[in-house]
Amino acid sequence: MNRNITQNCSVKINRKLDADYRRYRWQIIVTTFMVYTVMYISRKSFSAVAPMLMSDLGMTAVQFGFASSVYYILYGVAKFSSGLAADRISPRLMLAPILIIISVISAGIGASNNVTMLLTMYCLMAVVQGCGFPPIAKALSQWYSKSERGGWYSIWNTSHNVGGALAPLIASGVIATTGDWRMAFYVPAIITAIQAILAAIFMKGSPESCGLPNVGEWKNDKKQLEINANSETNLSLWVMFKRYILTNPIIWLAVGGDLCIYIIRTVTNDWVVVYFVKELGWDLVKSNSLVSWFEIGGILGGLSSGFISDKLFQADRWKTILIYCLVLVAGMVGVVISINLSYFILSLCFFVIGVGIYAPQMLFALGIIEAAHSDGAGAATGLKGGITYIGAALAGAPIAIMQTSYGWSGVFTVLSVISFLLIAMTIAIIKIERTYKPHTD
């Protein structure tokens, strides 16, 4: 009889544990999704109202371009430094303060009366925005195990697209309603402040801090348990960073691959319209539609890649990346072939390029987290972000110089070389991962 009572108690405890885990996991995914969506709304408002800032405050196109380049650099530096902090501070304690500061800065941009103040606040926004992703990456690595993480990460990753789509709609809507461009910053400031409160309420620390077992144990995920077993405990931040991240060839190759992805993505976003309008004489609406098809393909690529890597490749991110890289190259070749033949086929090719860009971008971020120490998600993400945003900067002035000196054929040649390097580095990762073990001496 005592045995039956013990068994019944054990069953009730396990049911409660399962219920708590599921509830917290949904809180984490919804909260982090909303946090990053709101951060994107605040971040992209500047670009959405840039023409009005030029006419009202006298900001020049050169100043705007310079600010954009500085933004990428500051964002990358902040992402790296905050990544180290994220591995020692609970995501719950980081996200709400970050959102509050973003809210204040957004209001400050709206209150700016001259270009100097405006651009100073915009650069401050870059620093704080750069601190947002590492704690989110930490939370996703803590609450979802390796064999299922791709699917959950794919869902979360669409927050980029949702936020990027909402930002211009909100900005345009409030300006059309009020006639005041400043409201395009005040409204996101209010939204961000509300989200800060929600994050403080619903965000959680690690499962262990909530009295729950490690997610690998709860899911009985052999792949996650293997990561945990290979991650030494009681290491200092510097030793962990050096041993599992800084000297890890897989992470460096993945960062290099992601750098290539960022260059191709930014060139597509920033230069496609210029090329088709200036070189081929297309109108602005038709040229912009190609970028829209690119973004739509990106949503499909980001959503599908995580589930495919989980279900078809047993959570092998690198082999999945290689498949999507080949899709990317096929789309690029298709553009070259169809550029003067058919708008429909050309649009389809840009859709395919979007799939081939956003899928590896998502999987590189996830693979780098999983290649690091189990407690090093923030630092690994920070290192990746600090370097790969150089790719965004490289797609600006250097591409302009390349186009001026060697024409568009020179730009296309550079993109072809970058695509080759991307595939080569991905293949190298697949080979190295089979035998690589971190040095423990």
Q: Would you state the pLDDT for residue 56?
A: 80
Residue 412, CB-side half-sphere exposure with 13 Å CA sphere: 9
Enter the pTM of the model: 0.78
Q: Would you state the pLDDT for residue 318?
A: 93
Contacts of 289 (CB under 8 A, 6+ apart): 347
Q: For the purposes of burial, counting CB atoms within 10 Å of the CB of 136, is it exposed (0-12), middle (13-18) or buried (19 or more)?
A: buried
Q: Would you state the pLDDT for residue 392?
A: 67
CATH number 3.30.565.10 given to 2-229: no
Instruction: Using alpha carbons, select from 43, 51, 65 the residue that is nearest to residue 122.
Output: 43
CB 331 within 8 A of CB 349: yes
Q: Would you state the pLDDT for residue 320?
A: 94
Q: Would you state the pLDDT for residue 257?
A: 93
* Fold: same for 2-229 and 238-433: yes
Where exactly are the structural domains of the chain? Answer: 2-229, 238-433
* Number of Cβ within a 10 Å radius of residue 51: 13
Q: Would you state the pLDDT for residue 8?
A: 53
Q: Would you state the pLDDT for residue 239?
A: 81
Instruction: Using alpha carbons, select from 9, 136, 127 the residue that is nearest to residue 70.
Output: 127
Q: Would you state the pLDDT for residue 398?
A: 72
CA gap 118, 138 in Å, rounded: 32
Query: What homologous superfamily is domain 238-433 in, according to CATH?
Result: MFS general substrate transporter like domains (1.20.1250.20)
Q: Would you state the pLDDT for residue 5?
A: 53
Question: What does each of the 441 residues of the chain score in pLDDT, given as a tens digit?
Answer: 555 555 555 556 678 888 889 999 999 999 999 999 999 888 878 777 777 777 788 777 667 767 777 887 888 888 888 877 887 888 889 999 999 999 999 999 998 888 888 888 988 999 999 888 889 988 988 899 888 888 888 889 888 878 877 887 788 788 888 888 889 899 999 999 999 999 999 998 889 888 899 888 888 888 888 877 777 777 777 788 888 888 889 999 999 999 899 888 877 776 776 677 777 777 766 776 777 788 788 888 988 888 898 888 888 889 999 999 999 999 999 988 888 888 889 889 999 999 999 999 989 988 898 888 777 777 788 788 778 777 666 666 676 677 677 777 777 888 889 999 999 999 999 999 888 776 555
One DSSP character per residue, 46-58 reads: HHHTHHHHHHHH-
Residue 195, CB-side half-sphere exposure with 13 Å CA sphere: 26
